[in-house]
Structure 1
């Protein structure tokens, strides 16, 4: 195993190993509200919009008090639109406001507002969880991957979860495409942290170039 590759991973994780949940101010725990806020963040991040805007919008929704499915579903549609706009999510604000309302109602009615019950319905099977997540309006395969990539921090049964986007980051950095080899290179780093860092390299070529320069 290349010492150079270890340096690259160490440099990447050290400089860019912040999860998107942490950046959005979500203190991730295996409890209903943080998991719901993560689902909303995954929904926002999966659109064709910058991650910084998605994160800012997740913060704006939280500041508007829309932190749980009951409040999200009970909010006026315009209230959701306005919160999305304050975060800069204007291109998709009207459709997303509708989807968030419908998704909150689905979560409340089917799983009692608790994503752990969704996990239980899938019996902890990760592909099953991924499939059920896609039943939320606006959450497709990409959104489900984002959720699981971050949730593995508190759902150890989902770990290690390095999705296609994370592996694209590894490729850009000249790292192995095999998740087990990447985890070995990362040492004690949490898989969720490694995944987030790799995704940042995938979506921002400056991150990748700076990481390679500093590791050289």
Structure 2
């Protein structure tokens, strides 16, 4: 199997971004979908399974907290109940508390609009990652997830691949550098490819695609 064939196989089975799974239309590039993606980045930074983080992100939206202003109106017991109901039983209280500081920083530093963070980073992915890690609860993993997904609409950060996707790429005999990996697919498909590589790892499917 050639590298192109392997990429097509991975995309064919797992080629869906996490933003798409969440039902977030990043193409709008407006504050609400960007905020929801940032919430997913926070939730995936906690020591929980990826599926539970996705459930919790959906639960926040179902509770009506799709903007920082709406989240700011929530109360701590409400957040705990929503997160607990989504499977966050072990870290629901901690995350419910983190959401306050996380949200306050977004409102204070960027007036609730992550496009201001984009302008601040000015196309520098390292600067963007540093800015993302200033949000309470978001570490290296969460920041990388946000940038990996948002490059679909913030094209100045293309090509960006996080360590998880590059580790899977290397295991599959694909380039383990974002620029080299991007040459094997078009810009439009690259965000789907790096997300698909993460999904392959999460599903324990590396050996099947190697064969």
Question: TM-score range, shorter-chain basis?
Answer: over 0.9
Contact 1:73/1:101, CA 8 A, preserved across alignment: yes
Q: Which residue of 2 aligns with 1:177?
A: 176
- Cα distance in 2 for partners of 1:130, 1:187 equals 24
Q: Which residue of 2 aligns with 1:156?
A: 155
Q: How does 1:123-134 map to 2 (within 5 A)?
A: 123-134=122-133
Alignment of 1:209 onto 2:179: no
- Cα distance in 1 for partners of 2:33, 2:144 equals 17
Q: Which residue of 1 aligns with 2:108?
A: 109
Deviations 1:119-157 (A, max 9, x none): 222233221111111111000111110000000011001
- Cα distance in 2 for partners of 1:57, 1:9 equals 30
Structure 1 stretches of 5 or more lacking a match? none
Deviation at 1:58, TM superposition (A): 0.5
- Cα distance in 1 for partners of 2:62, 2:192 equals 25
Deviations 1:154-197 (A, max 9, x none): 10011111111110111221222122332222346522111101
* Number of positions where the alignment pairs a residue of Structure 1 with one of Structure 2: 210
Contact 2:121/2:128, CA 8 A, preserved across alignment: yes
- Cα distance in 1 for partners of 2:100, 2:73 equals 8
Q: How does 1:31-42 map to 2 (within 5 A)?
A: 31-42=30-41
Deviations 1:88-120 (A, max 9, x none): 122211111111121111111221100111222
For normalisation by structure 2, the TM-score amounts to 0.93
- Cα distance in 2 for partners of 1:125, 1:179 equals 15
Alignment of 1:186 onto 2:185: yes
Instruction: Specify which of 14, 20, 23 is matched with residue 21 of structure 2.
Output: 23
Contact 2:152/2:188, CA 8 A, preserved across alignment: no
Contact 1:172/1:201, CA 8 A, preserved across alignment: no
For normalisation by structure 1, the TM-score amounts to 0.91
Contact 1:65/1:71, CA 8 A, preserved across alignment: yes
- RMSD across aligned positions (CA): 1.5
For residue 89 of structure 2, give the secondary structure of its aligned residue in structure 1: coil
Deviations 1:29-62 (A, max 9, x none): 3110000000000111122211111111110110
- Cα distance in 2 for partners of 1:189, 1:118 equals 23
Alignment of 1:137 onto 2:136: yes
- Cα distance in 2 for partners of 1:9, 1:118 equals 32
For residue 84 of structure 2, give the secondary structure of its aligned residue in structure 1: helix
Structure 2 stretches of 5 or more lacking a match? none
